[in-house]
Amino acid sequence: ADFNDPELVKVVELDQACRQQQVGEGWFPSVESTPSHAVTLTVPAIMRAEVISAVVPDERKSEAVRATMKDEVSTACPATVMRNHASCHLW
């Protein structure tokens, strides 16, 4: 992720792990039926929001939540930048 991306929205290629996650969550019946690309908001687009409400509904994301809250703000864990937002809520 680029904290200074000039674009607000991008088309990104989904890697195998991301596509497998979509299958595991029940969104698609197989990796082959999972789209190879997706539309995503960039970090600057998210940070422009008046309020950010980040919902993490699954225990398997606990390491990502820990990193978001504890690691140094960096692109290694893009969600860390949300700590710089005046009104970000993590659920």
pLDDT of residue 58: 82
CA-based end-to-end distance of the chain:
22
The pLDDT value given to residue 53: 97
| pLDDT tens profile 39-89 | 999 999 999 999 999 999 888 889 999 999 999 999 999 999 999 999 999
**Residue 12 amino acid letter:** V
Buried b (16+ CB within 10 A) or exposed e, 2-30: eeeeeeeeeeeebeeeebeebeeeeeeee
Confidence of residue 32 (pLDDT cuts 50, 70, 90): very high
Q: In whole angstroms, what is the distance from residue 77 CA to residue 59 CA?
A: 18
